[in-house]
């Protein structure tokens, strides 16, 4: 039976459209239309709500007490509801620099969780934010686990991971042969994201031309803009490479966010949470990987004061953007279509043939209902 979801307006991943009805059959999007022209199938009347593709969080270390550094299949099943609560239907579990055994355990955990028919959260692969990063820009990564990137280590990871590695963070200045490493990653369908780096403008440009597509949390853990010394940060702002932004208004000021949108355009920006296990919980003592983190007023820091991830959620990031003057459609695009396109995923858009993952929000952008495969998985109380 077809379902017709009648809403106030639809954001399709790129813009708001004139159609106000989403048509779904067997969990798949058939298309959109203007108004209801049938009474034979199921009509879901949500005309007070705005419909958007489910949000995509491509950079999240955990939530609800779970850290992907050390987790179980049962943990993974538990936390899906935390993500649904915030409109997120697709995540890329992200692990900080870790022993390879931890990476393999995460991959196995995700594979096991997916076997459960009640596990609805879409996980297309995992993101290794380390260990191939620069010790000088390690941020909240344990220096004991950092390694120099080599093709041999990359192949070892690919061969031993039971779940697909979909993204790897890389400091390109550490590579002896950038073409060999990046080409091998691209050959295996792995995106290269440049980050935790002291890369020069030229090194970043070379990596981009070789196939790197993204910058890990722009401005954080990299050189800052300097009027005489160009770096990866300058390259990020002037080129077409995609950039992640943590829009909790702690990692970045409103003015820097608006400057980035102005220079990059909404098509090149990806909203991420960079959330840690403390997200959706109270202040206190937590961990990120093997490091202790103290959370006060929702701000996560190591003992030396280094910011260690966030307690941000994607729905909150969207609200923050609109509050500082970013257009709603640009904020939504950065949380849906852009990350899905970066990783070549069939989600993040209201498009014929895609799985019917979508979120319903009120005019204040509060998440009211979330659907995965056309089925209700979350309803606000």
- Catalytic site residues? 274
355 is in an annotated binding site: no
**Cα–Cα distance between 216 and 232 in angstroms, integer?**
11
How much is the CA Rg of the chain, to the nearest whole Å? 20
> Is 308 flagged in the annotation as binding?
yes
Asked whether residue 140 is marked as a ligand-binding residue, the answer is yes
Q: Rounded to an integer, what distance in angstroms lies between the CA atom of residue 330 and that of residue 338?
A: 10
Q: Do the Cβ atoms of 14 and 334 come closer than 8 Å?
A: no
- Is 307 assigned to a binding site? yes
* CA–centroid distance for 185 within its chain: 19
- Is 220 annotated in a binding site? The answer is yes
Asked whether residue 141 is marked as a ligand-binding residue, the answer is no
> Is 129 part of any known ligand binding site?
yes
Establish whether 217 is an annotated binding residue: yes
* 333 vs 53: CA distance, rounded Å: 9
Torsions phi, psi for 276 (to 5 deg)? -115, 180
What span, in angstroms and rounded, lies between the C-alpha atoms of 183 and 180?
5
59 is in an annotated binding site: no
| Residue 47 marked ligand-binding | no
Give 368's contacts (C-beta < 8 A, 6+ positions apart): 49, 360, 361, 362, 379, 380
Please, are residues 33 and 19 in contact by the beta-carbon 8 Å criterion?
yes
- Please give the annotated binding residues, written as ranges: 129, 140, 196, 217, 220-221, 228, 251, 307-309
- Please give the annotated binding residues for substrate, written as ranges: 140, 220-221, 228, 251, 307-309
């Amino acid at each position: 039976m077809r379902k017709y979801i009648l809403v106030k307006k639809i954001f399709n991943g790129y813009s708001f459209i004139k159609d106000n009805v989403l048509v779904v059959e067997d969990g798949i999007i058939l298309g959109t239309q203007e108004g209801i022209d049938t009474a034979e199938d199921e009509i879901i009347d949500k005309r007070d709500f705005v419909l958007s593709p489910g949000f995509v969080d491509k950079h999240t270390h955990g939530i609800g007490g779970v850290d992907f550094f050390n987790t179980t299949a049962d943990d993974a099943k538990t936390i899906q509801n935390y993500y649904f609560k915030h409109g997120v239907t697709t995540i890329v579990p992200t692990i900080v620099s870790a022993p390879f055994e931890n990476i393999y355990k995460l991959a196995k955990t995700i594979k096991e969780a997916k076997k459960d028919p009640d596990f609805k959260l879409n996980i297309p692969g995992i993101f290794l934010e380390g260990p191939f990063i620069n010790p000088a820009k390690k941020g909240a990564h344990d220096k004991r686990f950092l390694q120099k990137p080599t093709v041999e280590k990359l192949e070892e990871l690919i061969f031993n991971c039971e779940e697909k590695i979909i993204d790897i963070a890389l400091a390109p200045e550490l590579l002896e042969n950038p073409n060999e490493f990046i080409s091998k990653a691209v050959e295996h369908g792995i995106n290269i994201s440049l980050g935790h780096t002291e890369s020069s403008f030229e090194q970043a440009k070379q990596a981009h031309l070789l196939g790197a597509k993204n910058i890990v949390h722009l401005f954080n853990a990299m050189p800052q803009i300097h009027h005489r010394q160009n770096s990866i940060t300058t390259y990020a702002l002037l080129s077409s490479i995609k950039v992640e932004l943590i829009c909790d208004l702690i990692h970045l000021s409103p003015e820097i966010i608006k400057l980035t949108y102005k220079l990059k355009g909404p098509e090149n920006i990806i909203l991420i949470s960079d959330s840690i296990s403390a997200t959706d919980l109270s202040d206190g003592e937590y961990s990120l990987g093997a490091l202790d983190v103290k959370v006060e007023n929702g701000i996560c820091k190591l003992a030396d004061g280094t910011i260690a991830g966030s307690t941000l959620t994607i729905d909150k990031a969207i609200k923050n953007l609109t509050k500082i003057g970013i257009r709603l459609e640009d904020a939504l695009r950065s949380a849906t279509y852009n990350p899905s396109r970066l990783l070549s995923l069939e989600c993040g858009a209201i498009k014929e043939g895609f799985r019917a993952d979508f979120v319903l929000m009120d005019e204040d952008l509060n998440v009211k209902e979330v659907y995965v495969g056309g089925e209700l998985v979350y309803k606000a109380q």
